[in-house]
Structure 1
C-alpha cells in the first residue's frame, strides 16, 4: 500500500478534469478530485463512485483563494502522507461568447485568428477584467498551488507535475520576435522576467496597444497565460530535477468550456495528460506534448487552422 500512487487534479468536477480523474482511477491511482464549488465536486465524485471507482475522494479547492490551499495540504499529509501526481487543469478562458450560434457556425475556436480579429467583435469579446482574471488563474494561481504542493511531491519516489496547457500557448501566435526569443530562452529567462512580460501585456491590453507591440489579438490573455505557463513549466523542470514536469495540450475537446465545439471527446482529450502523468521514470521533463506526442513550443505553421 505504501507504493500506491496519489494524484490531485484541479478543476476536476467537469470536462477534461473529470475525465482525467476517471482515467487515473482506472489505472489504480488514488485520486483527489478538487473543485471550487463543493456541491459540484461532491456530485462528480459520487458519479465516479457509482460507476465503481471508489478510489476518488473530493476536497474543495479554489486555486485563486490561498486560504483554501492550507486545509488541502493538511488533508493530503493526514490521509496520504505524500503526493505523487499533480495535474493543474483548472483554467479560465477570459472571453465572453456574444453570439454562441454564430461562434459555432464559424468553426468555433479555429476562426479566432488575428487576421479575422476585426470580424469577430460581434461573436466574442474579451473585457480587460476577464483577461486579467485569466492571467491570475492560469498562471499565478497555478504557480501558487504548485509551489504549495512541492514539499509533498518531494516525498514521492516518482513525482509528476502535468500542466494542462493549450495549442494557444504556442509562440506561433506572438508577433514580437524579441518576446518569442525570451520565452524560448530558458537558460536566461526568470520568473521575475515572466512577471514583467505579463505586466507589459496587461498594460498594452488596457491601452489598446496589442497589435502595435506584437501580442496575440484574439483570445489574447488566454494565449499569453498558456505561453507563460509553458515557460514556467520548463523553468520548474530545471529547478526540480527529481520531479518530472511537463505541459500537455489535450486537443481541441468538446466541453462546456469550448461551448461544445471541438474535434475530440473528453475521453480522448484526457488521454494525453494521463499518459504524461504515468510516464516511466526515464521519460522527458520540461517538454510540451500535443496530445500524446512531444511537440515544439513554437511552431512554424499555424498549430491548427
Structure 2
C-alpha cells in the first residue's frame, strides 16, 4: 500500500475536476473522486469505470461541512493510510447570468471588468447570499479540507497540494493599493488577517460600499475568494516546506462554471493542475501557474 499513490479531487463529478481525475488515474494513481451530491459522484465514477479506468472510487464530500470532511479523513486513514495528492477544485462563481444568450451575443465574455460594470446590468447579477456562499466554498471550504488532510499528506514521500485558482484572483483587480500590498506581503501576512479582509469585504458588499471602499466591482466575491486562496497557498507553502503547495489558473474553460462560455476544453484546462500534481521533488512551492506557466500573483495587466 505504501507504493500506491493516492489523490483526492474535490468537486470532481463534472468539468475540470472530473477531467483531472481521469488524467491522474491514467498515471496509475488511485483516485478518490469527491462530490457533494452522492448520486452524481457515483455516476461520474461509473462513467470512468465504463471507459476502462478502474482505479477511481467515490467518497461523498461537502467541503462546507466539518463532519463530512472528517468522514473523508477517516476513510483515507483506513483505506490508504496516507495521502499523496490533494486537488482543491470545488468552487462556485457567486454570480447569476440573468440573460446568458444576450451575454454571449454581446461579446461581453472579455469585458467583465470594473470599467464595464454599468454595461453588465441586466446580464449578470451578484446577490449577497451567493457571494457569501462563494467565499464559504472557495476559501473557507478549501481551507477546511486542506487543514484536515495535512497530517495525511505529511505521511507521503512526495506530497502535493494543487489549489485551483483563477486569473480573477490576481491582485490586479483590487483598487486599494494598501490592501494589495498587504495581501502580497507574504512575509507579514497571516491567516487571521486574510479572514479579517474577507469579513470586511462581506460587510461592504452587504451595504453596497464596494465602489466606495475600492473592492472589485465585477465577480466581486469570486475575485476576493481566489485572491484569498492565493495568499493562503503561499502561507501554507511556507509553513509546510516538505509539501509542494501551488495555485493554478486553468484558463477560461467550457464548463458549467462559465455557463459554457469558455474558450478551452476541459482536457486543456486540466493540464496545469496535472503538471502541478506531478511536480518533481525539486519543483516550486508557493507558486502560481497560469495554465502550465509560472506567473506573478499581482500583474500590471491581467487578461482572462
TM-score, with normalisation over the residues of structure 2? 0.98
Specify the alignment match of 2:153 in structure 1. 153
Where does the alignment leave 5 or more consecutive residues of structure 1 unmatched? Answer: none
SS in 1 for 2:251: coil
Please list the CA deviations of residues 165-205 of structure 1 after superposition, one character each: whole Å capped at 9, or x if unmatched: 00000011111100100010000000111111011111111
SS in 1 for 2:57: strand
Alpha carbons 1:170, 1:303 under 8 Å: kept: no
Specify the alignment match of 1:188 in structure 2. 188
Specify the alignment match of 1:235 in structure 2. 235
1:78 shift after superposition: 1.1
Where does the alignment leave 5 or more consecutive residues of structure 2 unmatched? Answer: none
1:110 shift after superposition: 2.0
SS in 2 for 1:197: helix
Query: Take 1:236 and 1:27, find their aligned partners in 2: how far apart are those partners?
Result: 26
SS in 1 for 2:270: helix
Alpha carbons 2:167, 2:303 under 8 Å: kept: yes
Specify the alignment match of 1:44 in structure 2. 44
Alpha carbons 2:100, 2:123 under 8 Å: kept: yes
1:109 shift after superposition: 4.0
Specify the alignment match of 2:162 in structure 1. 162
Q: 1:299 to 1:280 in 2, by over 3 A?
A: same
1:108 shift after superposition: 5.1
**Residues 287-302 of structure 1 correspond to what in structure 2 (within 5 A)?**
287-302=287-302
Q: How many pairs does the alignment contain?
A: 304
Specify the alignment match of 2:212 in structure 1. 212
Specify the alignment match of 1:247 in structure 2. 247
Query: Take 1:66 and 1:151, find their aligned partners in 2: how far apart are those partners?
Result: 16
**Residues 1-305 of structure 1 correspond to what in structure 2 (within 5 A)?**
1-107=1-107, 109-304=109-304
Alpha carbons 1:13, 1:40 under 8 Å: kept: yes
Q: Which runs of 4+ in 1 moved over 4 A?
A: none
Query: Take 2:105 and 2:28, find their aligned partners in 1: how far apart are those partners?
Result: 41
Question: CA RMSD for the aligned pairs?
Answer: 0.9
TM-score, with normalisation over the residues of structure 1? 0.98
Query: Take 1:3 and 1:108, find their aligned partners in 2: how far apart are those partners?
Result: 49
Query: Take 1:45 and 1:86, find their aligned partners in 2: how far apart are those partners?
Result: 18
Query: Take 1:115 and 1:140, find their aligned partners in 2: how far apart are those partners?
Result: 29
Query: Take 1:87 and 1:228, find their aligned partners in 2: how far apart are those partners?
Result: 17
1:106 shift after superposition: 2.8
Query: Take 2:242 and 2:108, find their aligned partners in 1: how far apart are those partners?
Result: 40
Alpha carbons 2:167, 2:302 under 8 Å: kept: no
SS in 2 for 1:245: strand
